[in-house]
């Protein structure tokens, strides 16, 4: 269905030009990436879309140890990228296989998914546990943690140029669990875990649970139970039970809070077992 309220499409050819267009009309404009979300949920005040297609921010590249994914790369581009496939055992690629249908992955962008952060987003928990950062522009270029960027409330929010997978996460392993009938469904809950194991002990552990029905959050208390410990069955069970105690779940039309709490235990346990079973690289 046509989005009748949209009156103007701006096609900037530079980041500065795009930002200036957005800054000029903070309430009446939005950045247009893949556009899927705007077609479905365009805010009523918005009459101008700023198409980011000509900014040259769609490539996936290596920058030092980081993998930098241009904000306009589609989810399919990311899924098929060898650089992403080699990073953290291909964890992000495995997450994206659970996201929507190929039809939508061929159009949706990673930058858009990171910015919109729907409560049911399967992308956000995966990025959170990888420690993803965002390259942004708001008159000047900077790099911010994804979790910090989501907490900021300035208007307009910065233009996201890229999603940066930090090299520090390269040698870890991750696992993702989504409770839904198919990847195309909105999940009842999702869960992502990531660990770097050295000499049999967790040097780094990150756990995020989403679709609670709020957008994914990391669970620091669960992570604390894992750091410095082996990923043994008993440690995994303890982490899963801790997660159930601290996760912020609520009822909605898809599931009760009680059911989501049970799923949290199952999701965290399965993810951590998968990581342990994958035999995350042990560094000497």
Chain residues that interact with other proteins, rule: CB under 8 A: 1-9, 32, 34-36, 38-40, 49, 51, 53, 76, 97, 100-104, 106-107, 182-184
Q: Give CA–CA dist 180/212, Å, rounded.
A: 13
- Closest distance to other proteins from the beta carbon of 192 (Å): 20
Would you say the C-alpha torsion 145, 65, 227, 93 has a positive or negative sign? positive
DSSP annotation of 172 reads -
DSSP annotation of 282 reads P
Spatial neighbors of 3 by CB under 8 A, at least 6 apart, are: 38, 39, 42
- For the record, the structure tokens of 102 come out as 């190929």
- Closest distance to other proteins from the beta carbon of 185 (Å): 10
- Closest distance to other proteins from the beta carbon of 176 (Å): 16
- Closest distance to other proteins from the beta carbon of 80 (Å): 8
> Would you give the end-to-end CA distance of the chain in angstroms?
58
- Closest distance to other proteins from the beta carbon of 91 (Å): 19
- Closest distance to other proteins from the beta carbon of 195 (Å): 28
- Smaller CB distance to other proteins: residue 10 or 244? 10
- Smaller CB distance to other proteins: residue 2 or 151? 2
- Smaller CB distance to other proteins: residue 101 or 256? 101
Is residue 104 within 8 Å of residue 36, measured between CB atoms?
yes
- Smaller CB distance to other proteins: residue 118 or 218? 118
Name residue 27's beta-bridge partners: none
Q: Give CA–CA dist 88/176, Å, rounded.
A: 13
- Smaller CB distance to other proteins: residue 12 or 131? 12
- Closest distance to other proteins from the beta carbon of 100 (Å): 7
Name residue 68's beta-bridge partners: 61, 164
Is residue 250 within 8 Å of residue 142, measured between CB atoms?
no
- Smaller CB distance to other proteins: residue 6 or 83? 6
DSSP annotation of 180 reads S
- Smaller CB distance to other proteins: residue 1 or 151? 1
Q: Give CA–CA dist 259/264, Å, rounded.
A: 9
């Amino acid at each position: 269905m046509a989005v009748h309220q949209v009156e103007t499409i701006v096609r900037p050819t530079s980041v500065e030009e795009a930002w200036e267009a957005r800054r000029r009309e903070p309430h009446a404009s939005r950045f247009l990436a893949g556009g899927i979300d705007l077609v479905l949920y365009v805010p009523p005040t918005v009459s101008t879309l700023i198409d980011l297609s000509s900014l040259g921010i769609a490539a996936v590249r290596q920058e030092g140890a980081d993998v930098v994914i241009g904000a306009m790369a589609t989810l399919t581009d990311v899924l098929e990228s060898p650089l992403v496939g080699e990073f953290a055992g291909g964890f992000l690629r495995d997450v994206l296989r659970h996201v929507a249908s190929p039809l939508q992955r061929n159009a949706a962008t990673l930058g858009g998914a990171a910015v919109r952060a729907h409560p049911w987003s399967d992308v956000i928990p995966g990025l959170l546990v990888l420690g993803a950062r965002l390259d942004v522009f708001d008159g000047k270029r900077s790099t911010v943690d994804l979790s910090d960027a989501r907490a900021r409330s300035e208007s307009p929010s910065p233009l996201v140029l890229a999603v940066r997978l930090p090299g520090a996460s390269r040698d870890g392993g991750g696992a993702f669990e989504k409770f839904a009938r198919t990847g195309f469904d909105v999940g009842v809950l999702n869960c992502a875990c990531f660990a770097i194991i050295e000499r049999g002990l967790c040097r780094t552990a990150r756990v995020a649970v989403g679709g609670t029905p709020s957008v994914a959050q990391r669970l620091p208390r669960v992570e604390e139970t894992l750091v410095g410990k082996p990923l043994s069955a008993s440690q995994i069970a303890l982490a899963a039970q801790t997660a159930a105690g601290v996760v912020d779940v609520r009822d909605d039309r898809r599931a009760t809070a009680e059911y989501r709490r049970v799923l949290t235990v199952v999701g965290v346990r399965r993810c951590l077992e998968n990581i342990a079973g994958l035999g995350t690289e042990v560094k000497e």
